[in-house]
Structure formats: structure tokens, C-alpha cells
């Protein structure tokens, strides 16, 4: 059993081992939907929500799989759970808040193939977190994802206005920017106890 | 003069060669399409890890493309994505257990990233865009080409990062002992920098070519 406190788990997932910048999970949306700050915020919110839901589900599934003695089904069960919870979230949002549903658009179904979500489920199992610890881990990962995405979007909005040599434009400069951001986040390493 | 049968034969074989080669360069999943970036960035801090993740992804992609191509008539259109993910997840589980048996060290170094091959958009993308609407032979060639292209991309990051960050290549010392390791290269920021630099290099080559024309 892991005895780390919820607060340290939260900070660890959000800052020290930031999901995007230190563990490279969820790079696709990080590069794909980080061109505007408000889209980045919405995407981050949706991802955090799905992370929390699938973290709770993964906790239950893991207990059930250990009970029936079939840990090799873990990966298959997790991915099915995530896909169906994304579907569920999509239906709920569509019913209760059509405006939000339209705003999120294509991002919602794409969350299924976001490795950060599966990453939360896998890591919380590997680290043997209990229920509360799992929840704070998922919340921390989601907050870390939002921070990285919004910072990146802010930098890219500035980049639009500056003159960049045509050779560097596009993915190359985005990646080098991400590298600098990642270096800045290495500064949080000192917070680890 | 070629008989019709022979010309069809050469056509399909040149088509498979074409499907194989496009993954290496023109439609390279990493350098051109920017797909499947998470493992490319995360575990390429040494050449051997890069090779392992490339080989594992290729293995999963070839086998799942085979099944998807064979079962394309059986899978209803509405649930196809879910079915593809299940097929991929099965092969990833197989790969994970095989790798654990073959080399526990590499398995430990790659950690959760073997399991995360499931959500690699490159594999799902090939299943949806190619394997589900082509015959077995073309699907396998396409998956093989994409897999090799992916492995080459991983290796091109892994070798640069290992040489600069550690002074070694596949564990052998290549730079002299007076070389001061560039630690940042094997840390997370190094992955972004090295991939950014590769893309920069390709952009520059393309620009020079266009300027020459």
C-alpha cells in the first residue's frame, strides 16, 4: 500500500511530474489543440473530467479483476471502460448543456485515444493507490494537463504575432518551445520530498 | 510480351512495394504526420529503448492490421472503432507479456509505455484508414512500412540523445572520456529539442530543394 498523502500526490502529478511536459502523455492534443487559450481551457476541462470518471472506474475494475484472478484483462478492460465513459460523458453533456457540447465538438470523442487518460488508470494501479489517492492523482494529472496546455497556447498566440523564419515555422518551433517549457518545469523537481 | 496475369502480378507487387516505402519517408508517421508522439518522446533516451518500442509497435501494428483486414466484412460499421481498439489491446497485452519474458530490463525501462501502445493514434489510424479497406497483403505491407518508419524515427531520436546525453551508443562508449555528457538530452526537454531539430533539418532540406528548382 502506498502511504503518500493526497496533497503530495496532487502536486507531484500536477507540477513535478507534469503529465505532458515530464511524462509525455497526451502530446497529441498538446500539439494539436494548443493554438488558442480558450479552446485549450475547454479541452483541458473535458480531459480532467474524463480522467476523474475513468479513474474511479479503473479503481473498481482493478478490484474486480483481482477478485476473479484475471489481471491480464486489465488493459482491455480499462480501454473499454474509458471508451464507454467518454460516450457516457458525451451523452450527459449533450442532454444537460447543449452549448458546452457544441463548444467541445470533436474534442470529446478524441479523448478516448488520449494516452494521458489511460496513463492515469495504469499508473494509479501500478502505484497501488487507494480510492482517495487515486482521485487526487487524477485531479492532479488533469490540472497539470490544463496548465501545460494553457501555457503552451499562450506562447503560441504570441508566436503568431512575431516574425518567425519560414524554415522554423510549424511543428519545429512548437517542439522547441515545448522543450523550453519542459525545462522550466524541471525547476519543480526540487519540490519532491 | 507480358501476359495479363503477369502484369497484374507485377502491379500488385509494385503496389505493395509502394505501400511499404511510403511509410518510410513520404508519409512517415512521426516526421510528417506527427502521429504517435508520446512514446517517441518519452522512451527514446537510449538507442536500445528506442529500438524496443519501435519493434513492439511494429509487431502490434502488423498483427492488428492483419486481423482488421481479414475481418473487415465481419465488423459492423457502427462499432468498428471499438472493435479495432479491442483487437489492438489484445495484441498489446500479448506483446507486454512476451517482452517481460524476453528482457525484464527493457520491460522495466519502458514501463507503462508498452501498455500505452493501445492508444497510439498511429496504429488506430492505419487500421481505420488503410487496413479496413484493403486486402491482407497490402495491409501488411502498409503496416510494416509504417512500423519501420516509426522505428527509424525512434532510433534517430534515441541515438542522438544517447550520444549527446551519455556519450554512448547501445551502451558502448563512442565519445572519449574527456566528453562532458550533455545531461539535458536524456531528460524530458531533450526529447522536444532533438525532435524539433530533426524537423528543422527536414524543413531546411525541403526549402533548399524548392529554392533550387
Cβ atoms of A162 and B163 within 8 Å: the answer is no
Is B182 at the interface with chain A, CB within 8 A?
A: no
**Tens-digit pLDDT profile for residues A28-87:** 778 777 778 887 888 888 888 888 988 998 898 888 888 888 878 888 888 888 888 788
Grid coordinates representing A38?
480558450
Cβ atoms of A31 and A174 within 8 Å: the answer is yes
Q: Which of A27, A175, A186 sits opposite B187 (nearest CB)?
A: A186
Label residue A141 by pLDDT band (50, 70, 90).
very high
- Where exactly are the structural domains of chain A? 6-188
Give the residue among B195, B138, B159 at the shortest CA–CA distance from A174.
Answer: B195
Cβ atoms of B45 and B183 within 8 Å: the answer is no
Q: Residue B2 above 60 pLDDT?
A: no
Helices A115-126 & A131-161 angle (0-180, nearest 10):
150
Q: What ipTM goes with this model?
A: 0.82
CA distance B207 to chain A (A): 7
Label residue B148 by pLDDT band (50, 70, 90).
very high
Q: Residue B5 above 50 pLDDT?
A: no
Kindly report which listed range (A7-16, A101-110, B7-16, B183-192) carries the lowest average pLDDT score: B7-16
Is B41 at the interface with chain A, CB within 8 A?
A: yes
> Judged by CB atoms within 8 Å, which residues 185-204 of B form the interface with A?
187-193, 195-197, 199-200, 203-204
Q: Residue B166 above 90 pLDDT?
A: no
Residues of A in contact with B96 (CB under 8 A): 75
H or E stretch at B168: strand B168-169
Label residue B3 by pLDDT band (50, 70, 90).
very low
Q: What is the pTM of this model?
A: 0.84
Amino acid at each position: 500500500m502506498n502511504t503518500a498523502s493526497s496533497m503530495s500526490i496532487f502536486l507531484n502529478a500536477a507540477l513535478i511530474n507534469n503529465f505532458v511536459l515530464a511524462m509525455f502523455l497526451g502530446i497529441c492534443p498538446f500539439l494539436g489543440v494548443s493554438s488558442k487559450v480558450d479552446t485549450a481551457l475547454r479541452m483541458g476541462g473535458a480531459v480532467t473530467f474524463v480522467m476523474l470518471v475513468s479513474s474511479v472506474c479503473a479503481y473498481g475494475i482493478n478490484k474486480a479483476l483481482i477478485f476473479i484472478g484475471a489481471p491480464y484483462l486489465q488493459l482491455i478492460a480499462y480501454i473499454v471502460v474509458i471508451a464507454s465513459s467518454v460516450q457516457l460523458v458525451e451523452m450527459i453533456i449533450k442532454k444537460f448543456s447543449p452549448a458546452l457540447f457544441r463548444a467541445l465538438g470533436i474534442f470529446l470523442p478524441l479523448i478516448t485515444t488520449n494516452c494521458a487518460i489511460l496513463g492515469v488508470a495504469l499508473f494509479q494501479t501500478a502505484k497501488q493507490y487507494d480510492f482517495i489517492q487515486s482521485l487526487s492523482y487524477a485531479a492532479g494529472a488533469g490540472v497539470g494537463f490544463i496548465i501545460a496546455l494553457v501555457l503552451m497556447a499562450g506562447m503560441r498566440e504570441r508566436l503568431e504575432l512575431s516574425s518567425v523564419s519560414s524554415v522554423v515555422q510549424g511543428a519545429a518551433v512548437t517542439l522547441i518551445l515545448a522543450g523550453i517549457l519542459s525545462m522550466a518545469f524541471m525547476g519543480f523537481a526540487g519540490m519532491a520530498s | 510480351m507480358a501476359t495479363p496475369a503477369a502484369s497484374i502480378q507485377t502491379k500488385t507487387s509494385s503496389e505493395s512495394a509502394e505501400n511499404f516505402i511510403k511509410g518510410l519517408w513520404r508519409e512517415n508517421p512521426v516526421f510528417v504526420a506527427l502521429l504517435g508522439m508520446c512514446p517517441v518522446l518519452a522512451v527514446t533516451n537510449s538507442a536500445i529503448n528506442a529500438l524496443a518500442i519501435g519493434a513492439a509497435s511494429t509487431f502490434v501494428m502488423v498483427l492488428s492490421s492483419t486481423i482488421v483486414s481479414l475481418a473487415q466484412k465481419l465488423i459492423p460499421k457502427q462499432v468498428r472503432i471499438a472493435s479495432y481498439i479491442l483487437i489492438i489491446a489484445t495484441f498489446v497485452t500479448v506483446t507486454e507479456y512476451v517482452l517481460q519474458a524476453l528482457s525484464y530490463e527493457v520491460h522495466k525501462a519502458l514501463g507503462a509505455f508498452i501498455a500505452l501502445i493501445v492508444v497510439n493514434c498511429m496504429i488506430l489510424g492505419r487500421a481505420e484508414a488503410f487496413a479496413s479497406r484493403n486486402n491482407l497483403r497490402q495491409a501488411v505491407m502498409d503496416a510494416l512500412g509504417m512500423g519501420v518508419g516509426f522505428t527509424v524515427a525512434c532510433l534517430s531520436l534515441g541515438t542522438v540523445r544517447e550520444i549527446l546525453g551519455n556519450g554512448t551508443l547501445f551502451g558502448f562508449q563512442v565519445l572519449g572520456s574527456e566528453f562532458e555528457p550533455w545531461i539535458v538530452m536524456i531528460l524530458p526537454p531533450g526529447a522536444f529539442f532533438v525532435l524539433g531539430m530533426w524537423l528543422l533539418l527536414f524543413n531546411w532540406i525541403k526549402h533548399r530543394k524548392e529554392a533550387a528548382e
